[in-house]
Amino acid sequence: MTEEENIDIEKELDELLTKIQPDLQDVIKRSFTNVALQQTKNGEQIKPDILEDISYFAKNTQVNLTRIELLKPPTFHMQAVSLDLKSMGLTLRCSLGEVNIKGLYSAFNENLYNLIPVMAEGHVLISLSNVTADVNVGLVIEDDAYSFINPGIEFSHDEVLVKLSWPSPQRSGGYEFVTTEQLAKHIGMYF
Is residue 98 assigned to a domain? yes
Total number of domains constituting the chain: 1
- Chain segment 78-127, per-residue pLDDT in tens: 888 887 777 788 888 989 899 999 999 888 888 887 888 778 888 888 88
Specify if 13 maps to a domain: no
Per-residue pLDDT reduced to its tens digit, 48-68: 678 889 888 878 888 899 999
Residue 158 domain-assigned (yes or no): yes
Alpha carbons 151 and 141: distance in angstroms, whole number? 16
Is 69 a member of any domain? yes
pLDDT at 1: 43
CA angle, 33 then 92 then 37, to 5°: 10
Q: Is residue 58 part of a domain?
A: yes
Q: CA–CA separation, 127 vs 156, rounded Å?
A: 13
Is 30 domain-assigned?
no
pLDDT on residue 67: 93
Q: What is the CATH number of the domain that holds 77?
A: 3.15.10.30
Q: Does some domain include residue 114?
A: yes
Put simply, whether the predicted model's pTM sits higher than 0.75 gets the answer no
In a domain, 164, yes or no: yes
**Residues with Cβ within 8 Å of residue 17, at least 6 apart in sequence:** 24, 85
DSSP letters of 76-121? Answer: -EEEEEEEETTTTEEEEEEEEEEEEEEEEEEEEEHHHHHHS---EE
47 — phi, psi (to 5°)?
-65, 145
Domain of residue 177 covers 47-188
pLDDT of residue 131: 92
* Contact (CB, 8 A) for 99 and 115: no
